[in-house]
Amino acid sequence: MTRIAKGRQNGELWDRIKLPNGMVGYVFQTYIEEVKDIPVTKVTISLDNTTLQKGERVSLKVQILPENATDKKLTYTSSNSKIVSVDSTGRLLALSSGEATITAKSVNNISSSIKVTVYSKVTGLEIKEQDLVMQVGEKYKVEPLVLPDDATNPSVSFSSSNKEVATIDNNGNIIAVKEGNCKIEVKTQEGNYEKEFALVVIPKLEEGAIEFGDELKVIGNQITGIEEKTTVEKLLTKITSKYEIQIENANGTILQKDELIGTECKIKLLETDKVVIQYHIILYGDVNRRWKN
């Protein structure tokens, strides 16, 4: 029980006390013996494994000395609650890849800490390339997205099915070597998730064969920088070429001048009905592959 107040009644000393169950009452001091507080001298926290998988929940193991300490209440904190959170009972939740230090502290400031590492395993792989056309001598960089974005080991490897046609280095840089076809493969080191796309290398076009407006961004055969709700007619004003220009939608249907451009539309350059080169259009935010009026 805990003393709340002292008093005197009819010459007798009394204490107002509170019991552990919350009840409050009065006791004459002659019937009780005051026990001195026994402070905490040591706190130890531990885990069977200090490396947690993202999403894992686990409780700290706690030891408080001496065992008969008067007040064993502890407060818990995390140095980075976005990586590992800890509640008032010492239960941890691994939230994101990284490290955090968990600390337990007694009411008299005796503390113990432990460093926890959160491992976020690879769950997938994405690439924006579906197929790619490059001219001999051109360079292009593949930038894969390893999932989740906080994966602990986002390492990937790259390979070309025909290095005589195109090479690719460990950083995803492609060099088109000579005319031909090959496949480019991307694979995660963890989980062996794979993606690949076809690469066609064509002869280098003569200078001035095609020119794009400054607002259009052309990397390899992918074009970005096109505004929302752009029609075929408007886009054609930003492209000049010695070849016939034909624009198709994602299904291969030739678009008319008043129709809207969308993601995965193709710009084809034709010479006597033969495709010289084609470009793929990417409109960021266009999840439906078209802009609606």
pLDDT digits (tens, 9 = 90+) for 19-71: 777 777 666 666 666 668 899 999 999 999 999 999 999 999 999 999 999 99
DSSP characters over 239-259: EEESSEEEEE-TTSPBPPTTS
Confidence at 291, pLDDT banded by 50, 70, 90: very low
Options 1.10.10.10, 2.40.160.10, 2.60.40.1080, 1.50.40.10; which CATH number does 42-119 get?
Answer: 2.60.40.1080
The predicted pLDDT at position 280 comes to 84
pLDDT digits (tens, 9 = 90+) for 85-133: 999 999 999 999 999 999 999 999 999 999 999 999 999 999 988 788 8
174's CB contacts (< 8 A; 6+ apart) are: 132, 134, 139, 140, 141, 142, 160, 166, 167, 168, 184, 199
- Decide: 17 and 1 in contact? Cβ < 8 Å: yes
pLDDT over 50 (residue 178):
yes
Q: What is the Cα–Cα distance from 159 to 182, expressed in whole angstroms? A: 10
Q: Which of 38-42, 114-118, 258-262, 274-278 has the lowest mean pLDDT?
A: 274-278
Domain locations along the chain: 2-31, 42-119, 124-202, 210-281
pLDDT over 60 (residue 288):
no
Q: How far is CA 276 from CA 85, 139, 270, in A?
A: 58, 19, 6
Q: Do domains 42-119 and 124-202 have the same CATH topology?
A: yes
Confidence at 293, pLDDT banded by 50, 70, 90: very low
- Decide: 102 and 111 in contact? Cβ < 8 Å: no
CATH, range 124-202: 2.60.40.1080
Residue 30, classed as helix, strand or coil, is helix
